[in-house]
Amino acid sequence: MITSTTKSHSKFVYRVAVGCFYFLQGISFASWGSRIPTIQQQMGLSEAELGGVLLALPVGLLLSLPVAGWAIAKVGSRSILIFSGILYSTTLVAIGYSESTVQLVMALFVFGFAGNLMNISVNTQGVGVEDLYQKSIMASFHGMWSLAGFTGAAIGTLMIGEGVRPFHHFLLIMFLSYIAIAVASRYVLRTDVNADTDKPIFVMPDKSLIDLGVICFFAMICEGAMFDWSGVYFRKVIGAEGAWIGAGYTAFMCTMAGTRFVADFFTRRFGMQRILQASGVLTASGLLIAVLLPHLFTAIVGFLFVGAGVSAVVPLVYSAAGKSKVMSPGVALAAVSTIGFFGFLIGPPLIGFIAGATSLRISFTVIAAMGLAVAVVATKSKSIA
């Protein structure tokens, strides 16, 4: 006899297993990010050369977007998740092993490709577990990714302090990932929610998915700006020195991670549309505080607001996309991710271009408008409730 307690226990096991894969993806990415300066030094790359090498990762990600949706629709997210999880952590070691620029570029291309396969497949799993719970839990999954980012950065700092080479550092991460994948893969969903082989794979997104993609686009412009330009803003505009240069980025990351663990509660209480509206307003307000009051304390407060503002947008958009009536979850997620990804790419260079023509404060004001656009699109979209 299957009791409600048994069902609840089963749901929890699925949630933990899928959350484990979110964590694994986050710690692999953070491990790579923490060792970029070391790898640059070991290979003797200039800033310009490093910039060119780093382009390989988003190129691999971009090319995997149509493949991910097709593969998940054909064989299911579980198989793709296991495959991409193993490939992602293995490619991390290949990055550490690279002895030439060509090898590093090839490894980063595969790393980007595998990373997005894992991203789409794990979010498809997240949509399935959310369906079991019949309530919003997607933001907490993304909170696991953010938590892994802190963990990976901390391990990276320890490895650098101990003089451990990236290759050996990445071997440790791969070994731990293999163990976690072997255990967690037994408890992820074997059938995707809303899976329907009759649904078309190659089809234009409908109005609701386009709206979600546009919201994701604006939110990821803001995220990309924070990741790449927060330190520069604090150094050049705020005039921060030493460790305080990273204070804005740290504040942003702390509230982005922390808010994700409570965002589901507020979504269930107030609804997706109101949370997206509040997210856009918070993001814009935080950026404007940093622009209008360019002092250390006020700028940190502003960046705290930005982190809280962007935290729930992508998880909520992914959750809604996975419930598409016209596409299978994997294909719908790939479609929305494609639109959003361009925002992530456009954001950092957009800031640089505007700052070069005017100033960093003006460029951050433009990014604030992008944050407000999240609220505007969410308000005007009839498909977002």
| Average pLDDT over all residues of the chain | 88
312-343: pLDDT as tens digits: 999 999 998 888 777 788 888 888 888 888 88
Among 116, 179, 35, residue whose Cα is nearest residue 336 = 116
Strands (E), 125-244: none
216 contacts 337 by C-beta, under 8 angstroms: yes
Please give the Cα distance from 28 to 351 (Å, whole number).
Answer: 28
- CB count within 10 Å of CB 372 equals 17
pLDDT of residue 2: 39
The b/e string for 76-111 (b: 16+ C-beta within 10 A; e otherwise) is: bbbebbbbbbbbbbbbbbbbbebeeeeebbbbbbbb
105-144 pLDDT tens trace: 999 999 999 999 999 999 999 999 999 998 889 999 999 9
Same fold, 4-184 and 207-380: yes
Q: Is the pLDDT assigned to residue 3 strictly greater than 60?
A: no
Per-residue pLDDT, averaged over 159-183, amounts to: 94
Domain locations in the chain as residue ranges = 4-184, 207-380
Q: What is the DSSP letter of 145?
A: H
What whole-number percentage of the chain has pLDDT above 70? 94
Concatenate the DSSP letters of all residues of 262-310 into one string. HHHHHHHHH-HHHHHHHHHHHHHHHHHHHHHS-SHHHHHHHHHHHHHHH
Residue 1 has pLDDT above 80, yes or no: no
Q: How far is residue 261 CA from its own chain's centroid?
A: 15
Phi, psi (degrees; rounded to nearest 5) at 185: -65, -20
- Give the count of alpha carbons within 13 A of 215, CB side only: 34
Residue 5 has pLDDT above 80, yes or no: no
* Strands (E) located in 11-87: none
Rounded to whole angstroms, what are the CA distances from 340 to 2, 27, 121, 220, 282?
42, 22, 17, 6, 19
> pLDDT > 90: what percent of the chain?
54
Count each helix (H run) and each strand (E run) in the chain, helices first: 15, 0
- Please check the confidence at residue 57 and state whether its pLDDT lies above 90: no
Give the fold, CATH level 3, of 207-380: Growth Hormone; Chain: A; (1.20.1250)
Better-predicted residue by pLDDT, 69 or 258: 258
Query: What b/e sequence results for 34-62 when a residue is b if at least 16 CB atoms lie within 10 Å of its CB, and e otherwise?
Result: bbbebbbeebebeeeebeebbebbbebbb
Contacts of 55 (CB under 8 A, 6+ apart): none
Q: CATH for 4-184?
A: 1.20.1250.20
Confidence bin at 46 (pLDDT 50/70/90): confident
Alpha carbon distance 317, 327 (integer Å) = 15
Q: What is the dihedral of CA 299, 303, 309, 313, to 10 degrees?
A: 150
Burial of 25 (0-12, 13-18, 19+ CB in 10 A): buried
Q: Return d(Cα 296, Cα 267) in angstroms, integer.
A: 32
